[in-house]
Amino acid sequence: MSHLLVLSIGPVQEFIAAARRTRDLWFGSYLLSEISRAVAKKVEERGGALIFPASVDAPNVANVILAELPNEDPRAVAREAKEAAEKRWREFAETAWRKVSEAIHEDVWNDQINDVIEFQAAWVSTTGDENYRADRAKVMRLLAGRKNCRDFKPAFGRPGTPKSSLDGRRESVLKDEDREIWSKKLRLSSGEQLDVVGVAKRLGRKVGSGDPRYPSVARIAADPWLRGVEAKHPSEFERLKDACGKLKLKGLNGLTNEAFPYEGTIVYRDRHANLREELGLNAEDPDLAEAAAALRRIGGEPNPYLAVLVADGDKMGAAISQRTSPEDHRRLSAALSGFAGEAKAIVDAHRGVLVYAGGDDVLAFLPVDKCLNCARELHEVFGRLLSDFGKPTLSVGIAIGHFMENLEDLLNWGRAAEKAAKEPDRDGLAIHLHKRGGAPIRVRSRWTDDGPPDQRINDYANLIQNESLPGGLPYELQKLADLYDGWPQETKTAALRADVSRVIGKKNQGAGVPASIERTVGTIVDAEELRGFARELLVARLVAGAMRQTGGEKTS
């Protein structure tokens, strides 16, 4: 008898969401994908025909596996798939164990290592391809019901043992004694504690690679400045790299395949005291002093802001539910897998770092000057690749924040922007700017609107960067908007537009109003729309600042 089998692997929260460093976030996502890949391979080995993912060779394998079982017992296949998931997890954990076993409480580690994987399965007998939609809906309902039936496992808590700093769910496996010996290897902050999952995320290795160093949020924020320094001050750039190369021998985090392959904190002089403490350097360390001297000679300070991009496909549930056969569903799965691969290339091309691209969802960190163009390309490629499946769209949220903000806050801001991009009518782009102090600045419109916000903001940024538009203009426009609150609509619009043009001309020192700005002014009908224009200008100011640090490179 043929069956439709669905398997769910977790925990998503511990593998992906619980993170204090970008490496925690990236490797947790990779770890969950590889465990899911092992499950998909086992299903194939047992004669299953994968539906989602379409192939075990997909760039990322989501944590839900759907497959046809023509002849096999689904209970036995599910049991072996669970064993494959647990085995793959232990392989990653044991790699980490071998590196720092002397720093770990072995009894706590052993208690936790077999209590990590969450695995649920459901299956139904198939009733023919003509009933695939009904069969799939039924098996997904069964899986949802299984997830709602919680497993209550024995607790292994030890009184007085500190909890993991990542999510506080499990006790720390780390010993307190000789902490300074292994804290560099684990990249521990002062007082930080890790459970078995946290240690695996800090020390795990990607299959077929060495020990990858994932760029920090500081390195991503500093990227426009570093590009500018490399172009404008090549000799000082090399001196800075030489000093950082010596500091790498003392524990400074290194990267691969970068023109400046070092941790970003080093280029922020006000962070050197913290870096000195983290690396255990004395106050007169000559290599850190050499790096500081090179930074003084270069002058200026890197912009401390970066972008968190969160994208998600719209109405994907409807697109999936409309698949009328397993083969039709596989074609959709293949298209989503193709987008995941394209997303990696797009983010790389815009000097960003991809955390995950799991089909129709994307999480990435990007330099401020590249984030808008990256968002547009992701949206366009998604639409092209999914055009045969009801033409679903991609909503994109971008949160711009300071690299010193808590990583969890940055992620939450990105998710909030993605949620705003979907409201009220999906297919949107939302940009939320979180400056340190003050309320967030939020802009949103649909990609299909006349003059979508990414193009407008890039245009405004180019004008500000070229000094064709004064950077202080948005504050004047906000004051003007306050004056027009409560005016009757029949007299408001013409007077407001005239006043806006007058203020822009005055702030622009008689240079007139740029044509693109004049077009925007011609669409404003009330005070709230004027405030929206001012908010877009405030976002553009930050983009222009990043452009300026690159040496004046324009956005497109």
357-379 tens-digit pLDDT? 988 999 999 999 999 999 999 99
Q: How far apart are the first and last CA of the chain?
A: 57
460-476 pLDDT tens trace: 999 998 888 887 888 98
Task: Write the DSSP string, 403-421.
Answer: TTS-HHHHHHHHHHHHHHH
**Which residue do the tokens 């007077």 mark?**
495
Averaged confidence pLDDT in the chain: 89
- Residue 490's alpha-carbon distances to 59, 198, 487, 496, 499, in angstroms, are 57, 62, 9, 11, 16
- In the three-class reduction of DSSP (H, G, I as helix; E, B as strand; rest coil), residue 401 is classed as strand
Q: What is the pTM of this model?
A: 0.91
What DSSP character marks residue 216? P
119 pLDDT above the threshold of 80:
yes
396-430 pLDDT tens trace: 999 999 999 999 999 999 999 999 999 999 999 99
525 pLDDT above the threshold of 80:
yes
| pLDDT, position 394 | 96
> pLDDT confidence of 165, banded at 50, 70, 90?
confident
Q: Can you tell me the distance from the alpha carbon of 191 to that of 261, in angstroms, rounded to the nearest whole number?
A: 28
